[in-house]
Amino acid sequence: NTFCIESNGCRPPVPKQNFTIHGLWPQKNNVFQQPRNCDTEKKMTDDILEKFKNDLLDYWPRLFTADDFNKSKKFWKDEWKAHGSCSSNKFSPEKYLETTIALGKKYAPLIMEQLMINGIIPDRSTLHTKNKILDAIKAATKTTALITC
């Protein structure tokens, strides 16, 4: 329920004990490397972000500024510019946010449920293997996740 940054020490807990979104990154088939900064014409605006304010803060918080919508806007704009813009043939900035949040709403509870079913419950003394966590995520999402430690 916390995250650490070496240079700044540990931060306070994330607002919810749930999985949150970091982003939705388009990817070419069978290629791990994602394209970046593709369509610089379409912009993520404050007005678009405002429409999704509550969901962004709940499901896609910037962990450094989790409760501060205004300080987090740059993060979401950067996610669109770097990654979402590479899906601009399919998504407008608004549709990109809508789709990403919908995926978070769908999969976060399923992942949490599978982790609990598999006895993976956060505490300060129990260690869980990466493979056990990956298996639970795969059971929930029907896809292979990547965990980097």
Give how far the C-alpha of residue 120 lies from the chain's centroid of Cα atoms, to the nearest Å.
Answer: 20
22 tagged catalytic: yes
Which two structure tokens, joined as six digits, stand for 44? 């993520």
128 tagged catalytic: no
3-state secondary structure of 9: strand
Cα dist from 13 to 39, 41, 46, 72, whole Å: 35, 37, 27, 17
Please pick, among 41, 50, 79, 98, the residue that the annotation labels catalytic.
Answer: 79
Q: Which of 32, 36, 70, 74 is nearest to 53 (CA)?
A: 70
Please pick, among 22, 94, 98, 128, the residue that the annotation labels catalytic.
Answer: 22
Which two structure tokens, joined as six digits, stand for 51? 């429409």
6 tagged catalytic: no
Q: Which helix (H) or strand (E) holds 5?
A: strand 4-5
Please pick, among 6, 41, 83, 113, the residue that the annotation labels catalytic.
Answer: 83
Spatial separation of the C-alpha atoms in residues 80 and 12, rounded to whole Å? 26
- Which residues does the annotation mark as catalytic? 22, 79, 83
